[in-house]
Structure 1
């Protein structure tokens, strides 16, 4: 059962990572279009800043879990380095439990925002009047994935398995 959960968490983490990358590309495309519109047409795109902000929120939240899985988050290891191996493990478990509590609270908040936006058909108070369920859905999914990845990290830590999966090495470019 634990292996099934870990496999599911791995798959959903890769999906969240892929969606975060697509949103990042979309954000970049919107900003380039805005620069082009302002520089060459002399006007601003009505939706570029709004949608870019939504995309960046999605990138941050959808990428939080996968970034943790790859060891990309900043960790303060001062206390950890002073402890014996058993103490390090206890500290790691306590830290993960605290992170799960914080991420679960974040998920709960974003779920409430999403449900409220859906029930009341809330819209962005701007020219585009974007339905807020879409950015709130991205935030809710990102927070949910972060909880899933933290629970997977806890399970791997308790099973004495590596909790981080390093990114594949990219061959370095050499001068020809």
Structure 2
């Protein structure tokens, strides 16, 4: 299971990188076509969709790599048991927040699909399609937060971070 989850986080991070390149391609193409006097409708919208996809798909990989911003000043000032308890409490709060984000992201996709929402831009893309990457990213992030919370309950240190170790 550990191998599957780590692969899931890496694949999610890899997809985020692909969508980041998609932002670059859309922006460069938009600039180039504007200089040539050609209009390709929706390029700005696709750059935005790619940027949102990159951000949400990167959440889990960034979290599991220990790269999210954390305030460790209080944790490091506490004794090991106190720091572990505070860390578990923070992770439980993160589970609630990530769970809500996950729930409402999925609900947004389902509502957009049910109401046939489309982009108001030139592309007229059904909005559930780009919103799907947000929902997938938040689901994977929720899994990562639960995974990290369970690891901490087992007394294991952060996955990739070397800042805080509990013994």
Coordinate RMSD, CA, aligned: 1.5
The alignment status of 1:12 with 2:11, answered yes or no, reads no
Partner in structure 2 of residue 102 of structure 1: 97
Aligned to 2:55, the other structure's residue is in SS state helix
Partner in structure 2 of residue 24 of structure 1: 20
The alignment status of 1:61 with 2:68, answered yes or no, reads no
Aligned to 1:130, the other structure's residue is in SS state coil
Aligned to 1:162, the other structure's residue is in SS state coil
TM-score of the superposed pair, with normalisation by structure 2: 0.90
Matched-pair contact (CA < 8 Å) for 1:68–1:164: no
The alignment status of 1:74 with 2:73, answered yes or no, reads no
Aligned to 2:157, the other structure's residue is in SS state coil
Deviation at 1:155, TM superposition (A): 1.6
Partner in structure 1 of residue 116 of structure 2: 121
48-57 or 7-16: bigger deviation: 7-16
Deviation at 1:36, TM superposition (A): 1.3
The alignment status of 1:132 with 2:112, answered yes or no, reads no
Distance in 1 (CA, whole Å) between partners of 2:73 and 2:157 is 20
What is the total number of aligned residue pairs between the two structures? Answer: 161
Deviation at 1:133, TM superposition (A): 1.1
Deviation at 1:71, TM superposition (A): 1.2
TM-score of the superposed pair, with normalisation by structure 1: 0.85
Distance in 1 (CA, whole Å) between partners of 2:130 and 2:94 is 23
Partner in structure 2 of residue 36 of structure 1: 32
Deviation at 1:44, TM superposition (A): 4.5
Partner in structure 2 of residue 171 of structure 1: none
Matched-pair contact (CA < 8 Å) for 1:24–1:56: yes
The alignment status of 1:91 with 2:89, answered yes or no, reads no
Distance in 1 (CA, whole Å) between partners of 2:138 and 2:159 is 19
